Structure 1
Amino acid sequence: MTTNKWTLVLADEGETLALGQKLALACSEAAVIFLHGELGAGKTTLSRGIITALGHAGKVKSPTYTLVEPYQTPAWQIYHFDLYRLADPEELEYMGIRDYFTQDSLCLIEWPERGHGMLPPADMEITLSYEGMRRMALLEACTPVGVALLEKVQA
């Protein structure tokens, strides 16, 4: 029986990157993934794992000051958002937020709650948290696209 939620332990940065790689390899269609967690919980590390596994060879940096970093790979246009410094969700409208969500894009959005009302629904929400010295990852599928992604990651 399939559930829409899956929790796993990430012992270190390597396991966070490996989860990102599994997510990347499971992506077969456009998706919106919300990334939740406190500062330092591993959202950017997970994003780096996804982006590099999809074929980006350069550095993956946090888009904290730019709000979005685009990455073009052979199969995908990846947009990595970090909305931590967003003062007002309306700012997303001014930057043309709707243009990022296309049929060949993978959108990774850190701090999505700061863009409430301006973002499309998430296909998957991932919450990273600390439990002692280890990280926990809760993956929650929110749409049929998210369910398919979660099933592939679990396989």
Structure 2
Amino acid sequence: MELTYHINEIDDVALKVLNNLEYKALLFNGEMGAGKTTLINAILRAMKSEDIATSPTFSIVNEYKSPKGSIYHFDFYRIESLDEAYNFGIEDYLYSNNWLFIEWPDRIEEILPENTQTVTITKIDNETRNLKLSINDKLLTENKAMTEPKF
């Protein structure tokens, strides 16, 4: 799936992402300020969570609750080695069957689970973004209506 959107359409974009998911692990790519955490907030709203996402840059992981289960939001921007991830028990999270939202996944690429999807956000200007949703670098075709997410 690929789409270009205005930032005020973010809630519709979140529904489209959720409706096109095959897995509960999402890898978020995009430069600093592209809108990864903004999209994660919109996805939380679409999942009926009452939590508000904040970037876990310093804490590395934040936990959110929703009727759809626990959601773990990671930001690996500041880690310098895989040992740091192992030290806080990353494997327990990765294989927990909970929702995983991972920013800067390239920092732990060697240990990521196989069943993931990638959200790539490109900033076009201050108000416009391009989003690509893929599995194993294969772009998904958008084929689902904007309804309640299947997860």
- Normalised by the length of structure 2, the TM-score is 0.80
Amino acid at match of 2:40: S
Contact 2:11 2:46 in 1 (8 A): no
SS at match of 2:110: coil
Alignment match of 1:61 (pick from 54, 61, 68):
54
SS at match of 2:80: coil
Alpha-carbon spacing, 1:99–1:30, altered in 2? closer, same or farther (3 Å) = farther
Q: CA deviation at 1:94?
A: 1.1
Q: How many residues align?
A: 145
Distance 1:152 1:101 in 2: 27
Distance 1:111 1:33 in 2: 11
Alignment match of 2:98 (pick from 85, 89, 105):
105
1:141-152 matched pairs, under 5 angstroms = 141-142=135-136, 151-152=143-144
- The more displaced of 66-75 and 113-122 is 113-122
**Alignment match, 1:36:** 29
Cα-to-partner distance string for 1:14-65 (whole Å, 9 max, x where unaligned): 22333223334565x7511100000010100111111222122133211111
- Normalised by the length of structure 1, the TM-score is 0.78
Distance 2:119 2:105 in 1: 11
Alignment match of 1:137 (pick from 90, 115, 131):
131
Distance 1:151 1:92 in 2: 36
Matching of residue 10 in structure 1 with residue 5 in structure 2: yes
Distance 1:98 1:55 in 2: 27
Distance 1:80 1:86 in 2: 15
Distance 1:151 1:94 in 2: 41
SS at match of 2:99: strand
Structure 1, unaligned runs of 5 or more: 1-5
Matching of residue 21 in structure 1 with residue 15 in structure 2: yes
Matching of residue 88 in structure 1 with residue 88 in structure 2: no
* Higher RCO (CA 8 Å, separation ≥ 6 residues): 2
> How many percent of aligned residue pairs carry the same amino acid?
30
